Structure 1
Amino acid sequence: MAHNKPNPDDRSDNVEKLQSMIVHTIENMDEAEESMKFANAEDLARIEAKNERRRESLASLRSEIKDEYQAQQNGYNEDNY
């Protein structure tokens, strides 16, 4: 039986990854809003609902960036979590 060791917790680029996720989410929202010009009522409601979920996700991602940035400043001490 093989013993699997967990990968070390490398959080050094988490802020950058989260920022990239925000950019992509905003791009998806923009594309969805553009497609709304050609959407029927059902699709329009679906797109609006999805973009609302994206806005909520953006708020969470921004909050997570703040947390990760603070953790970077504190040197990722285990005592901080």
Structure 2
Amino acid sequence: ELSSTTVTLAYTVESPNDEPVTGVRIQVDGRPVATERGFDLGAKRHEVAVTIPASDCVVSVIAENRFGASE
């Protein structure tokens, strides 16, 4: 039985008001596991390896700009 596993999380970043996205935080069950900063915003798709528990969990992708963070 595995206690955890690594998955590749793919996501896209868009800003409806064209405000530059300054970072992206990845959380598993509300705990930070990765932070992406200074990435190519022109890229359509971003990927990050995330370690998740072998049980059910909630993975969140939170984008940030100078005004705050997404929900």
TM-score computed with the length of structure 2 as normaliser: 0.23
Kindly indicate which of the two structures has a greater share of residues assigned to helix.
1
Q: Whose radius of gyration is greater, 1 or 2?
A: 1
Kindly indicate which of the two structures has a greater share of residues assigned to strand.
2
